[in-house]
Protein backbone atom coordinates (compact mmCIF):
# COMPACT_ATOMS: atom_id res chain seq x y z
CA UNK A 1 0.00 0.00 0.00
CA UNK A 2 1.42 3.42 -0.93
CA UNK A 3 2.10 6.04 1.71
CA UNK A 4 -0.09 9.06 0.99
CA UNK A 5 0.17 10.73 4.40
CA UNK A 6 0.01 14.49 4.03
CA UNK A 7 -1.63 14.34 0.59
CA UNK A 8 -4.86 16.25 0.04
CA UNK A 9 -6.85 14.31 -2.54
CA UNK A 10 -10.17 15.24 -4.11
CA UNK A 11 -12.37 12.24 -4.87
CA UNK A 12 -15.01 13.02 -7.49
CA UNK A 13 -17.82 10.51 -7.93
CA UNK A 14 -19.66 10.43 -11.27
CA UNK A 15 -22.73 8.49 -12.31
CA UNK A 16 -21.46 5.12 -13.51
CA UNK A 17 -23.56 3.55 -10.77
CA UNK A 18 -22.82 -0.09 -11.61
CA UNK A 19 -19.22 0.24 -10.34
CA UNK A 20 -19.96 2.03 -7.06
CA UNK A 21 -19.44 -1.29 -5.28
CA UNK A 22 -15.80 -1.13 -6.45
CA UNK A 23 -15.37 2.62 -6.07
CA UNK A 24 -16.04 2.78 -2.33
CA UNK A 25 -13.37 0.14 -1.49
CA UNK A 26 -10.93 2.15 -3.65
CA UNK A 27 -11.77 5.24 -1.61
CA UNK A 28 -11.23 3.22 1.56
CA UNK A 29 -7.76 2.26 0.29
CA UNK A 30 -6.90 5.93 -0.28
CA UNK A 31 -7.96 6.73 3.28
CA UNK A 32 -6.04 3.75 4.66
CA UNK A 33 -2.92 5.00 2.88
CA UNK A 34 -3.12 8.20 4.94
CA UNK A 35 -4.60 10.63 2.42
CA UNK A 36 -6.89 13.46 3.48
CA UNK A 37 -9.85 13.10 1.10
CA UNK A 38 -12.28 15.79 -0.04
CA UNK A 39 -15.41 14.18 -1.60
CA UNK A 40 -16.99 15.70 -4.71
CA UNK A 41 -20.10 14.43 -6.50
CA UNK A 42 -21.58 15.09 -9.91
CA UNK A 43 -25.12 16.32 -10.25
CA UNK A 44 -26.29 12.92 -11.48
CA UNK A 45 -24.52 11.00 -8.73
CA UNK A 46 -25.94 13.29 -6.06
CA UNK A 47 -29.56 13.13 -7.21
CA UNK A 48 -30.26 9.85 -8.99
CA UNK A 49 -31.60 6.75 -7.25
CA UNK A 50 -30.89 3.52 -9.15
CA UNK A 51 -31.01 -0.23 -8.60
CA UNK A 52 -27.44 0.14 -7.36
CA UNK A 53 -28.49 2.34 -4.44
CA UNK A 54 -30.09 5.59 -3.37
CA UNK A 55 -28.27 8.87 -3.97
CA UNK A 56 -28.69 10.07 -0.39
CA UNK A 57 -27.25 6.79 0.91
CA UNK A 58 -24.19 7.24 -1.29
CA UNK A 59 -23.75 10.83 -0.08
CA UNK A 60 -24.07 9.74 3.54
CA UNK A 61 -21.50 7.00 2.98
CA UNK A 62 -19.04 9.46 1.43
CA UNK A 63 -19.44 11.83 4.36
CA UNK A 64 -19.08 9.04 6.93
CA UNK A 65 -15.91 7.73 5.28
CA UNK A 66 -14.18 11.08 4.75
CA UNK A 67 -15.61 13.14 7.60
CA UNK A 68 -16.59 15.85 5.13
CA UNK A 69 -19.84 16.81 3.42
CA UNK A 70 -19.39 16.29 -0.34
CA UNK A 71 -18.93 19.24 -2.67
CA UNK A 72 -22.15 19.22 -4.72
CA UNK A 73 -22.22 22.38 -6.85
CA UNK A 74 -20.12 24.45 -9.23
CA UNK A 75 -20.04 27.28 -6.69
CA UNK A 76 -18.62 24.96 -4.04
CA UNK A 77 -16.06 23.50 -6.47
CA UNK A 78 -14.68 26.83 -7.76
CA UNK A 79 -12.46 27.61 -4.72
CA UNK A 80 -10.46 24.40 -5.32
CA UNK A 81 -8.26 26.37 -7.72
CA UNK A 82 -7.61 29.75 -6.12
CA UNK A 83 -7.29 28.27 -2.62
CA UNK A 84 -5.04 25.43 -3.84
CA UNK A 85 -7.11 22.98 -1.83
CA UNK A 86 -5.84 19.74 -3.40
CA UNK A 87 -2.57 18.04 -4.29
CA UNK A 88 -4.33 15.60 -6.60
CA UNK A 89 -7.86 15.10 -7.92
CA UNK A 90 -9.32 11.65 -8.65
CA UNK A 91 -12.41 11.19 -10.84
CA UNK A 92 -13.81 7.75 -10.03
CA UNK A 93 -15.75 6.54 -11.81
CA UNK A 94 -15.09 8.78 -14.79
CA UNK A 95 -18.01 8.42 -17.19
CA UNK A 96 -17.92 8.82 -20.94
CA UNK A 97 -19.82 12.09 -20.60
CA UNK A 98 -17.21 13.49 -18.21
CA UNK A 99 -14.35 12.21 -20.40
CA UNK A 100 -15.79 14.00 -23.43
CA UNK A 101 -16.27 17.25 -21.54
CA UNK A 102 -12.74 17.21 -20.11
CA UNK A 103 -11.26 16.41 -23.52
CA UNK A 104 -13.07 19.37 -25.04
CA UNK A 105 -12.51 21.89 -22.26
CA UNK A 106 -16.14 21.98 -21.10
CA UNK A 107 -16.62 22.82 -17.41
CA UNK A 108 -20.37 22.96 -16.84
CA UNK A 109 -20.76 20.42 -14.03
CA UNK A 110 -19.46 20.19 -10.47
CA UNK A 111 -16.85 17.58 -11.41
CA UNK A 112 -15.61 19.18 -14.63
CA UNK A 113 -15.37 22.57 -12.93
CA UNK A 114 -13.46 20.96 -10.05
CA UNK A 115 -10.98 19.51 -12.55
CA UNK A 116 -10.61 22.83 -14.37
CA UNK A 117 -10.08 24.70 -11.10
CA UNK A 118 -7.53 22.14 -9.92
CA UNK A 119 -5.59 22.11 -13.20
CA UNK A 120 -4.93 25.86 -13.00
CA UNK A 121 -2.40 24.91 -10.30
CA UNK A 122 -0.57 22.48 -12.63
CA UNK A 123 -1.41 19.54 -10.37
CA UNK A 124 -2.32 15.96 -11.35
CA UNK A 125 -5.73 14.53 -12.19
CA UNK A 126 -6.35 10.77 -12.06
CA UNK A 127 -9.16 9.32 -14.18
CA UNK A 128 -10.73 5.93 -13.42
CA UNK A 129 -12.67 5.23 -16.61
CA UNK A 130 -16.01 3.41 -16.62
CA UNK A 131 -17.95 3.68 -19.87
CA UNK A 132 -19.60 1.41 -22.41
CA UNK A 133 -18.22 3.42 -25.34
CA UNK A 134 -14.56 3.75 -24.37
CA UNK A 135 -13.54 1.93 -27.55
CA UNK A 136 -16.13 3.74 -29.68
CA UNK A 137 -17.28 7.35 -29.28
CA UNK A 138 -14.99 8.06 -26.34
CA UNK A 139 -11.84 6.50 -27.76
CA UNK A 140 -10.97 9.95 -29.13
CA UNK A 141 -11.55 11.55 -25.72
CA UNK A 142 -9.24 9.06 -24.02
CA UNK A 143 -6.59 9.63 -26.67
CA UNK A 144 -6.78 13.40 -26.27
CA UNK A 145 -6.42 13.20 -22.49
CA UNK A 146 -3.56 10.69 -22.68
CA UNK A 147 -1.72 13.33 -24.71
CA UNK A 148 -2.44 16.16 -22.27
CA UNK A 149 -0.29 17.24 -19.35
CA UNK A 150 -1.31 16.41 -15.78
CA UNK A 151 -3.80 13.66 -16.69
CA UNK A 152 -3.15 10.11 -15.49
CA UNK A 153 -5.26 6.98 -15.93
CA UNK A 154 -5.97 4.13 -13.56
CA UNK A 155 -5.07 0.98 -15.54
CA UNK A 156 -8.18 -0.27 -17.33
CA UNK A 157 -9.49 -3.24 -19.27
CA UNK A 158 -12.43 -4.49 -21.29
CA UNK A 159 -14.86 -5.82 -18.71
CA UNK A 160 -16.98 -7.96 -21.05
CA UNK A 161 -15.34 -8.35 -24.50
CA UNK A 162 -17.99 -10.73 -25.76
CA UNK A 163 -21.10 -8.98 -24.50
CA UNK A 164 -19.91 -5.35 -24.52
CA UNK A 165 -16.85 -5.19 -26.80
CA UNK A 166 -16.47 -1.39 -26.57
CA UNK A 167 -16.82 -1.18 -22.79
CA UNK A 168 -13.82 -0.45 -20.55
CA UNK A 169 -13.61 -0.23 -16.76
CA UNK A 170 -10.71 0.84 -14.57
CA UNK A 171 -9.06 -1.62 -12.20
CA UNK A 172 -10.18 0.20 -9.07
CA UNK A 173 -7.90 -1.94 -6.89
CA UNK A 174 -4.99 0.00 -8.42
CA UNK A 175 -6.38 3.47 -7.77
CA UNK A 176 -4.24 4.23 -4.72
CA UNK A 177 -1.08 3.10 -6.52
CA UNK A 178 -2.02 5.24 -9.53
CA UNK A 179 -2.52 8.25 -7.27
CA UNK A 180 0.89 7.77 -5.67
CA UNK A 181 2.53 7.46 -9.10
CA UNK A 182 0.72 10.57 -10.39
CA UNK A 183 2.00 12.59 -7.44
CA UNK A 184 5.50 11.60 -8.60
CA UNK A 185 4.62 12.63 -12.18
CA UNK A 186 4.49 9.02 -13.41
CA UNK A 187 1.82 7.05 -15.27
CA UNK A 188 1.29 3.58 -13.83
CA UNK A 189 1.85 0.91 -16.49
CA UNK A 190 0.47 -0.90 -18.33
CA UNK A 191 -2.46 1.42 -18.95
CA UNK A 192 -4.38 -1.29 -20.83
CA UNK A 193 -4.57 -4.62 -19.01
CA UNK A 194 -5.76 -7.97 -20.32
CA UNK A 195 -9.57 -8.25 -20.60
CA UNK A 196 -11.65 -9.84 -17.89
CA UNK A 197 -12.18 -13.48 -18.80
CA UNK A 198 -15.80 -14.53 -18.46
CA UNK A 199 -16.54 -18.17 -17.54
CA UNK A 200 -17.38 -20.26 -20.62
Residue 27's φ and ψ, nearest 5 degrees, are: -65, -40
Distance separating alpha carbons of residues 57 and 79, to the nearest angstrom: 26
pLDDT score, position 49: 74
Mean pLDDT by 10 residues, the chain (200 residues): 94 91 96 98 84 88 97 97 98 97 97 98 98 95 97 96 94 97 97 75
pLDDT score, position 53: 84
pLDDT at position 199, please?
Answer: 59
d(C-alpha 20, C-alpha 32), whole Å: 18
3-class SS of residue 81:
coil
Identify the pLDDT of residue 39. 98
Q: What is the pLDDT of residue 198?
A: 63
pLDDT of residue 17: 79
Amino acid sequence: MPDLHGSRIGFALCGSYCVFSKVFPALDALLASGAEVVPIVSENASRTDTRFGDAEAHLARLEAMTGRAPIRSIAEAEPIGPRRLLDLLVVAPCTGNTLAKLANGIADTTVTLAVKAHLRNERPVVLAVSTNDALAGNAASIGMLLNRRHYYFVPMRQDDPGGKPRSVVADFSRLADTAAAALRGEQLQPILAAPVQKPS
